Amino acid sequence: MIFEIRAEAELAIFRHVATPTAAASGLARERRSTPQGPGAAPSGFAADAGAALVLTMLEAFAITLSSVVAGIVYSRALHGYAGDPAVFFGNGMLVAALFCGAMRAREAHRGRLFGEAHALRDLLAVWLAVFSFVAFVWFFLKIDPTLSRGAFLSFFVLGFVAVGAARSRAPGIIAAWYHPRRFAGENIVLVGARDVAALERLGNEFRFTGCDNPAIVTVAANGDAGEWALTLTQGLRDIRARAREAGHGQICVAADGFPPPRLAELMSALQSIPRAIRLVPEESAERYLHMPMRNLGRLRAVEIQRAPLSGMQLGLKRIIDLAIAIPCLVLVLPTMLVIAVAVKLDSRGPIFFRQKRLGFRGKPFVIYKFRTMSVLEDGADVAQARKGDARITRVGRLLRSMSLDELPQLFNVIRGDMSLVGPRPHAVAHDHFFASLIGNYELRQHVMPGVTGWAQIHGLRGETATTEMMRKRVEFDLWYAKNASLFLDLQILARTAVEVFRKRNAY
């Protein structure tokens, strides 16, 4: 599993934990608070700049070693001699420098942790870009005509596998080697409000990471204005005294318990002390520090949840829908005519099944399918189809097993009621019922409903006989609603073709 690790402010090392034991197990953090389905995205891993340096060293070692091994093995296999290890080593160092620099820049620009698909995509994109550049430098400019193209391509394959393996192992190595002794040898001065548990937790965190005896200064933060002035003066005197006595280290202030104006006064006054000063925010705010910052004019804001798609991406998604749906409709029209005749001859009733559904932002629309049942339910009471349902017609059973009854939804896509990819729209009666039982259910409607979706490619289709079954499907829909992207849509479309042939829960 590929992990993506980014350089982060050193405050990340002060993340709240209850005990040193909990800290050891808490190094891996969840990327987001949204529920994710199996295979959706792995947990994230927060790291500071030092951890990013460890990752860079691991990547560079893996890349350089791969270059030397690939070059020697290829040369011996084809030419019977080891080639020039110095050339292979130099080539590996060049690729390592370019790759590690590009990955650190990309991770810093991203400003957030990404899931497995995103991390693998970024890794492959940077790897291809670096090798394209190096290939141009070495071969097109003929810097060193002795370098074999076969050895270079072998390095490309082996190096990609090696750097992926290095990145997958990095969190465990960093957790075991780097973090436990992060602050060994430093003299830390901890400042906090009196009678606040956050200061004790912060002290435990520093002890766990190597600082055995941090100096602690407490300040009475809740007195009246006159008392606060005296308290601040005395507190600053104590802090300066501890700072003079201590050697190399920093001053860390736990924000819990301080009213915002008094915390601002304290932090401003501490800047007269020539030491590194860190502010550890309240626990309620700390959980958002790993999230990206966005400009709001002259203000800065934490992006708690991004819009799934920007206006430009929505436009591109619509273009992709039309570019795929229109040609597909033309291609399957003969098949649809045959199905229409079969439906009409098989049982009494209309060819198409029409039912009101709720679409983007709750806007109602009429969905089209080929009729596969002897009933046309729509309204306050809609019974889901079950396995072996007697209401399903003979032709309908065949159509449902191959998902051919969904073909008329291409008209919905062209009309703009639906997209090719998105949460499957449910009957209005089911929306009203499950919205009262499942939290955030309506969030599914913040994106365009789809012919196929993230839940469907994970086998969550067909009957939802219990609330728990629907909750599981909705979890996948909500994950998609919060993580939608054009790349993810293309991935879902590709996997849908496989899912159709598997016929899971298709009845």
User: pLDDT of 25-77, one tens digit each?
Assistant: 333 333 333 334 433 333 333 345 667 777 888 889 999 999 889 888 888 88
Take residue 471 and report the two structure tokens written for it.
Answer: 């909750």
**Does residue 139 sit in the same domain as residue 107?**
yes
Can you give the length of the chain in residues? 507
Q: How far apart are CA 369 and CA 408, in angstroms?
A: 5
Q: Does an H or E element contain 358, and which?
A: strand 352-358
385 shares its domain with 458: yes
What is the rounded average pLDDT of the residues 285-311? 79
Same-domain pairing of 261 and 295: yes
Q: Decide if 383 is inside a domain.
A: yes
Which of 128, 156, 181 is the endpoint of a domain? 181
Residues 334 and 263 in one domain: no
Domain count, the chain: 3
CB neighbour burial string for 133-159, b if at least 16 within 10 angstroms, e if fewer: ebeeebeeeeeeeebbeebbebbbebb
Residue 21 has pLDDT above 90, yes or no: no
pLDDT of residue 54: 79
Cβ-Cβ contacts under 8 Å for 289 (sequence gap 6 or more): 9, 11, 12, 281, 302
Give the C-alpha distances (Å, rounded to integers) separating 309 from 195, 272, 305, 316, 484. 46, 46, 12, 10, 7
In the prediction, which pLDDT does 29 show?
33
**Residue 3, in any domain of the structure:** no
**Kind and range of the H or E element at 250?**
strand 250-254
Structure tokens at 3: 């992990």
261 and 367, same domain (yes or no): no
Among residues 162, 181, 200, which one ends one of the domains? 181
305 domain residue, yes or no? no
For residues 255 and 167, membership in a common domain is answered with no
Asked whether residue 153 falls in the same domain as residue 219, the answer is: no
User: Higher model confidence: residue 507 or residue 124?
Assistant: 124
pLDDT tier, 418 (very low <50, low <70, confident <90, very high otherwise): very high
From 247, 276, 300, the end of a domain falls on: 300
d(CA 30, CA 290): 10
Inter-residue contact 98 to 134 (CB < 8 Å): yes
Termini Cα distance of the chain: 35
* Long-range contacts, stretch 93-97, CB < 8 angstroms, 24+ apart: 93/60, 93/64, 94/134, 95/63, 95/67, 95/130, 95/131, 95/134, 95/155, 95/159, 96/59, 96/60, 96/63, 96/64, 97/60
User: Which of these, 197, 192, 202, lies nearest to 238 by C-alpha position?
Assistant: 192
Check: CB of residue 45 under 8 Å from CB of residue 5.
yes
User: Do 41 and 141 reside in the same domain of the chain?
Assistant: yes
Query: Is residue 364 in some structural domain?
Result: yes
| Cβ-count burial 326-349 (b if 16+ within 10 Å, e if not) | eeebeeeeeebeebeebbeebeee
- Residue 398 CA, chain-centre distance (Å), reads 38
Alpha-carbon span 236 to 233, nearest angstrom: 5
pLDDT value at position 423? 93
Distance CA 25, CA 423 (A): 35
- Show the domain range for 162: 10-181
Residue 17 lies in a domain: yes
Residue 324 lies in a domain: yes
If asked whether residues 169 and 204 sit together in one domain, one would say: no
Query: Confidence band (pLDDT; 50, 70, 90) for 227?
Result: confident
Q: What is the tens place of the pLDDT at every residue in 122-154? A: 788 888 888 888 877 666 555 555 567 777 788
pLDDT for 323 equals 93
Average pLDDT over residues 109-120: 52
If asked whether residues 44 and 169 sit together in one domain, one would say yes
Any domain includes 403: yes
pLDDT digits over 425-482, tens only?
988 888 888 888 888 888 888 889 999 999 888 888 776 667 888 888 899 998 898 8
**Statement to judge: residues 431 and 345 lie in one domain:** yes
State pLDDT tens for residues 386-413.
Answer: 777 788 899 988 988 888 999 999 999 9
User: What mean pLDDT is predicted for residues 315-338?
Assistant: 93
Q: Does residue 507 lie in a domain region?
A: no
Of the candidates 368, 461, 351, 345, the one whose C-alpha atom is nearest the C-alpha of residue 417 is 368
Question: Is there a single domain that holds both residue 290 and residue 366?
Answer: no
Q: Each residue of 170-201: pLDDT tens digit?
A: 777 766 665 556 666 677 888 888 878 877 78
